[in-house]
Structure 1
């Protein structure tokens, strides 16, 4: 996951092209990945497209089983990072996770508001490469449709929102300090779209992954202090009201020399995101 405890995403298993997987019964518990660095609490009512991925069976009930973020892109479709639904993260193949759900309309994970929608199908981008982190996209189909106006539109290829220097916001329930201090309330942090060269220099075949502008987007705080962190993986990066990226990977949290790497939405399978 983003800034994982092992510092790497290698070992995550890429699934078959456009495979459809139905969660089934499993047992045991997996360790959850470690909120947004330098962020502020926000109400999900302001951003109804931000959702949490949860499995109490795998991660316990303290944080309602939250282990990754996601974003509603259609009434019954949620996009997240492919590595979030890998065996590396879940501890078992996705087909053995019996209670995979998407929590919507709830700022406080331990609260009782909102809705917990069951995930009926999971599709992995056929181009996903667990070794380099390229194509880090997954699409979840919900068993229940949510209000259409809650979905966010994605910025298509060539959209100005991808231009370096553009202000953006990243959302999540992950680590807020980089030391395992998890938030129970949704947070948001301001970042900036950075030139591809910044991440190419930071991650030239690093232990964390290899930056590729074809499927990845570089974003962060040039001065440090604002970033995504553990537990934010799959969560949305939004600029000019459009989805431009999903939290994917990086080295450390909130460090100027180690920007965040996001899955670039314009590189997602064309039918997956509603373009703005």
Structure 2
């Protein structure tokens, strides 16, 4: 998933990665390619200046929750990933409606404003959330954020994670959006795996645990900020974890219900 030797490694891997082959697009840490109609709300954060021309300059994922509002992980907009403050990345864009990052369909939309949670902690990974307001409304269908009392957060539910990130954990990045099925796990599973160390500290109030106990299907570097979906509702954002698809090291996601106050306050609709 996201590297525990901090997000800087994900940025370095993205800069150095060789574009994935067409054959590689057929698999992703236990996943598969996605048709555009299946996920119109899955977007990419991109900068050609920082990450090159390949794959549209993608470096993180995001989720369209309004026609001009995108949510993503706070660490995606941090200096560890971008190498400088996000305000200094002059060509920072949100790529909408482009499943294949080597193609030209869809839009690269400019950003009007960014809200990053003021209490985001890069050591514990607490409050790993940000809200982006686009300069223009887009026609793509947003996804609904699941409320705190919705049953979709219950352990045992099947969830789907989406992204363009590393497919193997060794820097093989996909050009086409793909998804992987994972299970929502009990909070105690992540609490045992991440009790508090350099890897991070699991907090059930703002985080969600998901993955496979035996490993295999998972998100990875470059997927950060992307959606975790249950029954058509957003339940999480790819945030952090140890490695990619490791047994005993499930993925930790920003709990989507914790985003609701920020979206209501800072979103553009």
| SS across alignment from 1:95 | helix
Cα distance in 2 for partners of 1:201, 1:271 equals 29
Q: Aligned pair count?
A: 253
What's 1:125 paired with?
117
Structure 1 residues 30 and 59: alpha-carbon distance in aligned structure 2, compared to 1, 3 A threshold: farther
Cα shift at 1:255: 1.3
Q: Confirm or deny that 1:86 pairs with 2:78.
A: yes
Cα distance in 2 for partners of 1:105, 1:260 equals 26
Deviations 1:72-129 (CA, angstroms, capped at 9, x unpaired): 0001000000000001110001110000111111111010111111112110112322
Q: Confirm or deny that 1:40 pairs with 2:32.
A: yes
Which ranges in structure 2 are unaligned for 5 or more consecutive residues? 18-26
Q: How does 1:175-254 map to 2 (within 5 A)?
A: 175-254=166-245
Deviations 1:116-173 (CA, angstroms, capped at 9, x unpaired): 11112110112322221111100111111012x6100011112100000000000000
Q: How does 1:23-172 map to 2 (within 5 A)?
A: 32=14, 36-147=28-139, 150-172=141-163
Which ranges in structure 1 are unaligned for 5 or more consecutive residues? 11-28
| SS across alignment from 2:118 | coil
Structure 1 residues 36 and 81: alpha-carbon distance in aligned structure 2, compared to 1, 3 A threshold: farther
| SS across alignment from 1:32 | helix
Length-normalised TM-score, structure 2: 0.89
Length-normalised TM-score, structure 1: 0.87
Cα distance in 2 for partners of 1:231, 1:143 equals 24
Q: Contact (CA 8 Å) 1:170, 1:191: kept in 2 or not? A: yes
Cα shift at 1:271: 4.5
Cα distance in 1 for partners of 2:180, 2:100 equals 17
Q: What's the RMSD between the two structures over aligned residues? A: 1.9
Q: Contact (CA 8 Å) 1:193, 1:219: kept in 2 or not? A: yes
What's 1:21 paired with?
none
Cα distance in 1 for partners of 2:169, 2:74 equals 22
Q: Contact (CA 8 Å) 1:9, 1:131: kept in 2 or not? A: no
